[in-house]
Structure 1
Amino acid sequence: MTRETPSILLAAGGTGGHLFPAYALAEELARRGLAVDLVTDMRGDRYGTGFPARSVYQIPSATPGSKKNPIALARAGFTLLRGIRKARGLLRTLKPAAVVGFGGYPTFPPLVAARLLGIPTIIHEQNAVLGRANRALAGKASAIATSFRKTRFLEGKLAEKARFTGNPVRDVVIEAAKTPYPALVPGGPLKLLVFGGSQGARFFSELVPPALATLPAPVRQRLKVVLQARAEDVSTVTAETAAAGINAEIATFFKGLPQIMADSHLVIARAGASSVAELAVIGRPSILVPLPHSLDSDQLENASNLAESGGSWCIEQRDLTPLRLATELGKLFEAPEILAAAAANAKAQGQASSVGLLADLVQDVIGKRLA
């Protein structure tokens, strides 16, 4: 690899929240003529994305548990040290111009190894709260990219090397965003998308079918529901929606989710960073239910940001019952103008140019090194 065509190593865990923005950056760097490699944890790519990298490498990693369990803590520490040793060997072979991490402890070994070898590092924070792994890495990072203009725990010297880029979305999301918000026609279909993200969808599988069953028959007959469920819940959810006379497609995973989102009148989802970013870029109204036990309440922060813009409604899980959801859905389906306004408000928050801004930051960092 010559100095004119440097390679970039991306580090991301196997969850969609980390993998999807890394995927988007890989697409953009390739367009700019840069070679891209990916290092991930042992989960690999669970989404069948066919990550656009020259090569994909796996490095051992672990998330440190509670200090109250010293055995588990020691085991995680040993795994991370093993990952750092393996990452150092990989970096000596690849000689990347920079390593870009997307948060989570799977990025810890390669970014620590990069610093030990004097390779510039960039961390990208998808959430409105600086994650724990990123907090541990931020002090030595060459630059910090943020998805929100205000990011909790990012202050002082860390704030000085932060740059707002937004959260990159994949090309398939940009393409889906070209679809206009579908008009709600009197008596026409009501397209509802429900997905729970990588954290699982059991809560929605238990909440949504009884909520939909209480809607008036004329509304149920118009519903076209796409619902993500865990494998063990698919048969139950299918039976419940069928018994209520609802046209529903139930599956564990939808590969074309961005276009399904674009075709929907309303989305019910968790508030993971990538989900919120894609809802905004595509411009679809949503009821966001933050994961209640997410570290540092990052999903609540994400949902609150979009809700404050008028692009969504944030309802905490503890406050959401089937009756409450049915009431909210009934109100929204009777007021298409409210849904259309929320769609416009969400789209106004979308940052389709984020991937370009992040790629600019990467080139700025490697440009300084090559100079």
Structure 2
Amino acid sequence: MSPSKPILLAAGGTGGHMFPAEALARALLARGRTVELVTDKRGHAFGDALPEVAVHRVNAASPGSGLVGKLAAGWKMGLGLLRASALMRHLEPAAVVGFGGYASVPTVYAAANARVPVMLHEQNAVLGRANRMLAAGARRLAVAYPEVSGLRERDRAKIVLTGNPVRPAVAARRATPYEPPAAGGPLRLVVLGGSQGARVFSEVVPAALARLPESLRARVHLAQQCRPEDLDAVRAAVAGLGLAAVELDSFFRDVPDRLAACHLALTRAGASTVAELTCIGRPALLVPYPFATDDHQTANAARIAQDGAGWHVPQPELTAEALAARLESLLNDPDTLAAAAAASRARGRDDAAERLADAVLEMADAAAPANAPTEAAP
């Protein structure tokens, strides 16, 4: 493979797709490879941190509802495929890596049809719909979990376990050891609800803390991310609880530091959140977003619970009474927290970006002598 040939990353939409793409870009650039990003209008470039990564835009859309919506989505996808096919001819990439989501579909499909080596990266424990559509045309499927559901049997031979890349600031915190709560010492609880917070946490957490014994509340250091519209209500709800410290915000810029310092986290179970928790090695109560596509967050949480690295709490079971009982039990049991932290760290990776880069380059090198035809995606 010629180092001058670019490697195209196809990603867009949410940070769950863009974070691992950015991490892979960094790893490939460090090896002297040319990297370019293909995304849709929603996708953000990697910003000032990676100005050398050229960005190309293609049309893409998720399947619409109703006849008009489906026709509009099909039209956009068709335009995206035409643009992506032109990019294949113009750039002649060494490989294309798709990170799931419908923003990746035109580029990955065009690459498979042009016989460009394709790798798909799946961040969740369930193969996403876009990756399911594209798996037939991929030469490799890089996964974050040893077991991924939704795969056809004939695609299992393509699997390479890489993990889910995390931000450098997260990887740097893997060296921070977990310190379980000391008798009578602070109890640091971090509550994160994803990029926009979670209303259910804003409603349930203050009510659960109010049910804790006063002596326990007096030790709790609460850092909670809330939706902007919920901040005042949460602030009022916790004001008279006698907590040792309270930090509420709609966005924390220092999440890696907060996770590294916490004794217990309460979070959703998105791919990036789970990757960060396990990379740093922190115990967590995982409450999957119940409306996630294919319920993939439930699958993620279930895998973590099976490993003993945290506790899966379905949202319907997240009542103030149940959460209070769980918090009281765990915060008074440092040995259980420490065991979960160790299990979390054991399943986490700080080298996922390097492993993914290895797999991409091996695939591209193997295909370099003659780009053998690959089965095009249906």
Shorter-chain TM-score range: over 0.9
The match for 2:20 is 21
Q: CA RMSD in A?
A: 2.1
Mapped to 1, the partners of 2:283 and 2:51 lie a distance apart of: 30
The match for 2:323 is 325
Secondary structure at the aligned position of 1:148 is classed as coil
Mapped to 2, the partners of 1:111 and 1:367 lie a distance apart of: 19
Residues 108/236 of structure 1: CA separation in 2 closer, same or farther (3 Å cut): same
Aligned-pair distance for 1:243? Answer: 3.4
The match for 1:225 is 222
Aligned-pair distance for 1:179? Answer: 1.0
The match for 2:173 is 176
Percent of residue pairs bearing the same amino acid type: 45
Mapped to 1, the partners of 2:253 and 2:147 lie a distance apart of: 32
The match for 1:362 is 360
- Find 2:296's aligned residue among 266, 279, 298: 298
Mapped to 2, the partners of 1:4 and 1:22 lie a distance apart of: 19
Matches within 5 A, 1:50-61: 50=49, 54-61=53-60
Residues 215/46 of structure 1: CA separation in 2 closer, same or farther (3 Å cut): farther
- Find 1:167's aligned residue among 164, 168, 179: 164
Matching residue's letter, 2:36: D
Find out whether 1:86 has 2:83 as its counterpart.
yes
Matches within 5 A, 1:60-71: 60-66=59-65, 69-71=66-68
Mapped to 2, the partners of 1:255 and 1:130 lie a distance apart of: 30
Mapped to 2, the partners of 1:192 and 1:12 lie a distance apart of: 33
Aligned-pair distance for 1:53? Answer: 5.3
Contiguous gaps of at least 5 residues in structure 2: 370-378
Matches within 5 A, 1:188-337: 188-198=185-195, 200-246=197-243, 247-337=245-335
Aligned-pair distance for 1:56? Answer: 2.9
User: Normalised by the size of structure 1, how large is the TM-score?
Assistant: 0.93
Matching residue's letter, 2:199: R
Worse-matched range after superposition: 121-130 or 40-49: 40-49
Matching residue's letter, 1:64: P
In the comparison of the two structures, how many residue pairs are matched? 368
Find out whether 1:130 has 2:115 as its counterpart.
no
Residues 123/313 of structure 1: CA separation in 2 closer, same or farther (3 Å cut): same
The match for 2:339 is 341
Residues 74/21 of structure 1: CA separation in 2 closer, same or farther (3 Å cut): same
Does structure 1 retain, via aligned residues, the 8 Å contact 2:3–2:32? no
- Find 2:97's aligned residue among 96, 100, 108: 100
Query: Alpha-carbon deviations, 1:71-110, whole Å to 9, x = none?
Result: 1111111121222223233344433211101111111121
The match for 1:151 is 148
Aligned-pair distance for 1:47? Answer: 9.6
Find out whether 1:38 has 2:42 as its counterpart.
no
Mapped to 2, the partners of 1:213 and 1:268 lie a distance apart of: 16
- Find 2:351's aligned residue among 343, 350, 353: 353
Secondary structure at the aligned position of 1:243 is classed as coil
Does structure 2 retain, via aligned residues, the 8 Å contact 1:15–1:198? no
Aligned-pair distance for 1:50? Answer: 4.3
Mapped to 1, the partners of 2:296 and 2:127 lie a distance apart of: 8
Find out whether 1:186 has 2:183 as its counterpart.
yes
Mapped to 1, the partners of 2:232 and 2:257 lie a distance apart of: 25
Query: Alpha-carbon deviations, 1:184-221, whole Å to 9, x = none?
Result: 12222211111111464122112212111222222222
Mapped to 1, the partners of 2:101 and 2:48 lie a distance apart of: 19
Query: Alpha-carbon deviations, 1:231-272, whole Å to 9, x = none?
Result: 221222222222323322222222221221111110111111
Does structure 2 retain, via aligned residues, the 8 Å contact 1:14–1:46? no
Matching residue's letter, 2:112: R
Secondary structure at the aligned position of 2:13 is classed as coil
Contiguous gaps of at least 5 residues in structure 1: none
Mapped to 2, the partners of 1:355 and 1:81 lie a distance apart of: 32
Residues 364/254 of structure 1: CA separation in 2 closer, same or farther (3 Å cut): same
Mapped to 1, the partners of 2:205 and 2:275 lie a distance apart of: 23
